[in-house]
Structure 1
Amino acid sequence: MEVKIGVRSVHRELVVETELTAQQVEEEIRNALAVDRGGVFSITDVKGRRVLVPVASLGFIEIGEDEARPVGFGGTL
């Protein structure tokens, strides 16, 4: 699952590839937003690295869809 995070006053978005489902990512976001202004949104990527963003700095979060990626050189769809 690909998650794009827009941070205020930063021109590039953060892109994190995670093993979480869309529902799990949304739950993490909601939990971080539920804490008064001191909340932190955190997510772990597929390599085990953790990204932490203060909730006050979040601009947007785009959650990609779970999709099966085609494997191989087959011409069938």
Structure 2
Amino acid sequence: MEVKIGVQHAPREIVLESGQSAEEVERAVADALAGKAQLLSLSDEKGRKVLIPSEKIAYVELGEPAVRRVGFGAL
């Protein structure tokens, strides 16, 4: 699933393909914004972790789960 995170005072958003479910990502974001966690911690599909201080999160956009297309076909 594609996750876009806006960070305060940063010119670009953070975009990552997460292997986590939408519910897991939403729960992690909710915990960070509610003050239960000081950092928002998400993992991408390659196993890398993204850590963002909770107070710097401007917005989080959750996309649809990515379906990989193979071949040359009509769109």
Which bracket does the TM-score occupy, shorter chain normalised? Answer: 0.7 to 0.9
Does structure 1 residue 54 correspond to structure 2 residue 53?
yes
What is the RMSD of the two structures over their aligned residues, measured on CA atoms? 1.8
- Calculate the TM-score normalised by the size of structure 1: 0.83
CA–CA separation in structure 1 for the residues paired with 2:16 and 2:60: 11
Look up the equivalent residue of 1:17 and give its one-letter code.
E
The alignment status of 1:22 with 2:6, answered yes or no, reads: no
Percent identity over the alignment is 45
Distance (whole Å) between structure 1 residues aligned to residue 40 and residue 73 of structure 2: 40
Provide the secondary structure at the position in 1 that maps to 2:26: helix
Kindly state the Cα deviation for residue 57 of structure 1 after the two structures are TM-superposed.
0.3
Rg larger in structure: 1
Q: Which runs of 5+ in 2 are unaligned?
A: none
- Aligned pairs, how many? 75
* More displaced stretch, 63-72 vs 6-15: 63-72
Query: Could you state the TM-score of these two structures normalised by the residue count of structure 2?
Result: 0.85
Gaps of 5+ in 1: none
Question: How much does 1:67 deviate?
Answer: 4.3
